[in-house]
Amino acid sequence: MITFFYDILFLKVGGVMSNSNFLWEIIIKKLKTEVDPEVFSTWIEPNFIDFVDMKKKIVTICSPNLLISEYLQNFFDIKIKEIIKSSTSVEFNLFYNYLEDDKTTIKESKKNHYKNTEDVILENFFSKDKPSGVQNIFSKQHFSDKSYTKPKDALNYNYDKSSLNKKFLFDNFVVGEGNVHAYNLAYSCTVAPGEHNPLFIYGGVGLGKTHLLHAIGNELVDNYPGYKVKCVTSEQFLNDYVNSIQIGNKNKNAAEEFRKKYREVDALLIDDIQFLSGKTGIQTAFFHTFNELYLNQKQIVLISDREPNDLDGLDDRLVSRFDSGVLADITPPDYETRVAIIKYKCKKNNISLDDSIISYISGNISGNIRQIEGILKEIKFKSTSVANITLSMVENIIKHRVKNIKKNITPEDIINVTSDFYKISVDDILSSKRNKEIVNARMIAIYLCRELTNLSLPAIGKLFNKDHSSIFYSNSKISSMILENTNNILNDIENIKEKLKKI
């Protein structure tokens, strides 16, 4: 049966399969249903299978460039292997090629694949005292003066690099599910400036938008010698514009100086663009600045707390231009990402905390990274006067900062209480046994982990040794049973919750 499948799927020639992109069509058809359309079209669709070697069990995937190749390896290597195995019943090793200057460079598939953020931080982030974990999903590019084109008729304006915060780098930006898309696009702006134009990043307070903005600027300055980067807030842009008007009577060149400052650049990075709302005069000045830079293919990056269509008081022509670019939202970090952030900042600031304390902080801070930083600063201050930081001390710190503190219920608590309630061992709940009673207890434990903790579906899957789809099914199944109160399940769940409250 398997041999017959191969004969149809591939045309064997000397042990090497031709017609290999029929297999690639199978792969992308599967991936297309599981990933964001923009991610699919940008990072997956442009690739193809170069060849398939049955004797050596190797599939070689070719990408248009190094950037896409690295992304595919780090985020989809395991998934692609799974799809190939399910289609051919054979485990293949993946090799990656990328096309560069009409030459193909063959690179062996990396062993470090995409994992949950905490695991990557623990395994890689602190290796050799330099961050090198998931936040570096692309290998650093090597740039030279040859790739830099000086702007035509550039004026000798002194661009102040001090406007960039040197602490905000891609290397120390912790990536999670809520910000990975924004991170990818931000980094790609430093590899191919002007390709994603404008890049419009939006999201709530304290989620890392400004960090990414300055990381782009720092990376551009480091990689392109002489590259002119202007990074300001919209308030600074407004102040410069007003000053150019106020001193215009004394200095006839004031308007020209303002124009030089913002239009003779290679990259313009603006933070808090939403503050231009309602200010007609400055919007006109920015409109013309934007147009000139855009037409000259200079990189523009804008940061906002809302997406373009939600910016009230902004000219339609500006909204239209913002909306025509690439949009990337940043959402609050999930539980695993918060744990990773806390561990990273503890390492950086020499703070020693037990895992139970880190878990408690992660469970009670919904996502504002600045709030996490404030709590850790207070913990560090207290650590100078006490021998050990205890959970009760941290609870006291947080209760003054957070209105609704959650009870620190762990997945282990849920599994143990569920085990005790149904008189089924923990080992059986975590096993792959399919007995009806065991399956029922397991699904309820999974459902409660999803409801009462901040764990993501993949993290719960790791805990129960199940894949993402199995966890999703269990959660959906119990939700349906609750609606119909099948087998009086609602009563069981409420009883388990009551027992958890007493822990």
To 5 degrees, how large is the angle CA 215–CA 217–CA 218?
A: 65
CA 377 to centroid of chain Cα atoms: 25
Task: Tell me: is residue 209 an annotated ligand-binding position.
Answer: yes
Task: Tell me: is residue 313 an annotated ligand-binding position.
Answer: no
Helix 254-263, helix 280-295: angle, nearest 10: 50
Length of the chain: 503
Dig out the tokens for 495 from the structure. Answer: 């009883």
* E strand intervals along 16-114: 16-18, 48-53, 58-63, 93-100, 103-108
Residues 6+ apart with CB under 8 A from 125: 131, 132, 133, 134, 135, 340, 344
3-state SS string over 311-335?
CCCCCHHHHHHHHCCEEEEECCCCH
Helix 234-246, helix 280-295: angle, nearest 10: 110
- For residue 325, CA distances in Å to 185, 265, 300, 328 come to 12, 19, 10, 10
- Is beta strand 229-233 parallel, antiparallel or unpaired with respect to 93-100? unpaired
CA gap 160, 145 in Å, rounded: 20
CA gap 7, 17 in Å, rounded: 10
User: In this structure, how many other beta carbons lie within 10 angstroms of the beta carbon of residue 386?
Assistant: 9
Q: Over the Cα atoms of the chain, what is R_g?
A: 27
CA gap 175, 481 in Å, rounded: 36
Strands ordered across the beta sheet of 267-271: 229-233, 267-271, 299-304, 199-203, 326-330
CA gap 329, 204 in Å, rounded: 9
Binding site, by residue number, is 206, 208-210
Binding site for ATP, by residue number, is 206, 208-210
